Structure 1
């Protein structure tokens, strides 16, 4: 990737940008919420649309000179509509959290009730954590996964909803490795007269490709990120039935945001076009196959997986049984030294601090983009095991880093 124009103006930033490209090329990116966007998407996000204010919506802007901004946003909307089959799509949210915010602001009043999954059990900050605006503006109670099985107990969720009587139930998670039964959650919402928000931030690409059931047409609102499993421009998206369209649009702008980041919308449009190609379905299928292979390898190496496996793009490892003296933070640090980048993560029944939790979360979207297959991911599982088995052994770290380098060379990125 060429940063010559940046270097002419700011060598320090150019050095950092080139260092980041090299870091991604030379290490394995396994943070489940990350991916490698195509150079076409990156070019779109670095385009002259960076300069353009386009407050409002296509055909109804508050500034002149928006004809090409309109064209790009309309393309993004049309392509998202085709991908997901939604009645109405808003592609302006800056991130998944802002997409969720739009739904809350459109449909709730301060003090209304939200029922969502606890962060320690795989939920997300924007679903009601007290450090987030949701936990500060609304009354929140949270359901949990079954600590023994690692699965959502839908009957318990429905019972909780009947007792709490929420105004909205949130489904969709940041660290849940199993398929989500959106219909059962919708039924629980219907029983108590609540809205249902399905946040598919992590699985947006899997849903678009048809390898995970879609909540579109089931849940009242569907939100997501556009830069994880779908590899589009960085940002968020909201989908809903036409009856809610005006309220959602008003909650995005002017309710929660000013001018949309049109360069990111351009990246969304390009990424959505890529996702409409037949090979994207193959990519999504391979992402899931790779996660299953990774999980199988880790299990064979003696690690405990939450829910004993995965149906999607990530595995969640509970280190307490196999490595009780090693925290997720310790594992993350040692693995990064060896060239494997993932994150420490809380697990159901967490007994440590969330800042130094008992598990690790590993995803396969970025590896799959590089061309990794099941055999590669099984090998990666073996490498992860070797490091966690001896996190302070420099010889092991050095050997694993050499094998990581060989895998990266065999599957080059941004040549």
Structure 2
């Protein structure tokens, strides 16, 4: 299996790195961007649109570029490297992915076109208080209202739900199953707040809120599951970018910080710990890229397993690299003025956004009986 990028993919990496690097290579620029609502730079969002990044996974007829999961992963890694706060993962990969998979031709043209041009920010309102990363909805229910539909219930947390121009909302259908609806305009209460990784989320309250089915009002559980898997793989790639820089920062610190008259990398035990961080990073990188390749060509079941395997490995690696980065930096690693703590915070947020390591370990363990038996080695 060839894990190397081709020339076009390398060019994409360099272009995105140049854009977001110029915006956020100085950590203070990132701190200023997240200090005020909406929690990201509208200017950078439009620049990403001009480069074609926001339309990357969508078909050309809807303003996109028709790229695959590997290209999406490259962008996610580069955004992770600089802690870019723009909602590429939640708006483009997740909400946009649902529109692309379930929307009507008119909805795709309007919503994906607006998203690709940077004119729209979409958010997927799916998580419910007490729920745990399932592709179904229960607390928010859809009811037929005359010639249309109305939604009632609470969604929380909704990433960037306060800023989003419209919401893609999952809701339990009267006859069973989970449907997808587009909600815009009045009738929605959005209470936005700041998250621990300096991102934004919202509590969304729906009370007989008018809604338009995304495509048709039928069970979309399978589509939601597939798009969630795609978002998990993209999140794994973002985590790889985060871990790469966290390791680089730690290695540089060990080479420059002195204790007892010598630099910290003189102490063998600290060098061994940073080497273990490197091993975790490379295992996570290989799994994320492999899962991206499976997503591009595998069946639904294969991509689901690949997404869980990658998520489990990245969850363990992220916790290891993040904790060690702070430990090896000492007290400065705990301060808001230094970036390494923010990298660890973002790794933690990604781990819990779409299912943590324990969740995916449980999914994989439940499917063990489906594999063929093999004879043990003598």
Give the TM-score normalised by the residue count of structure 1.
0.23
Q: Which has the higher contact order (CA 8 A, sep 6+)?
A: 1
More helix by share: 2
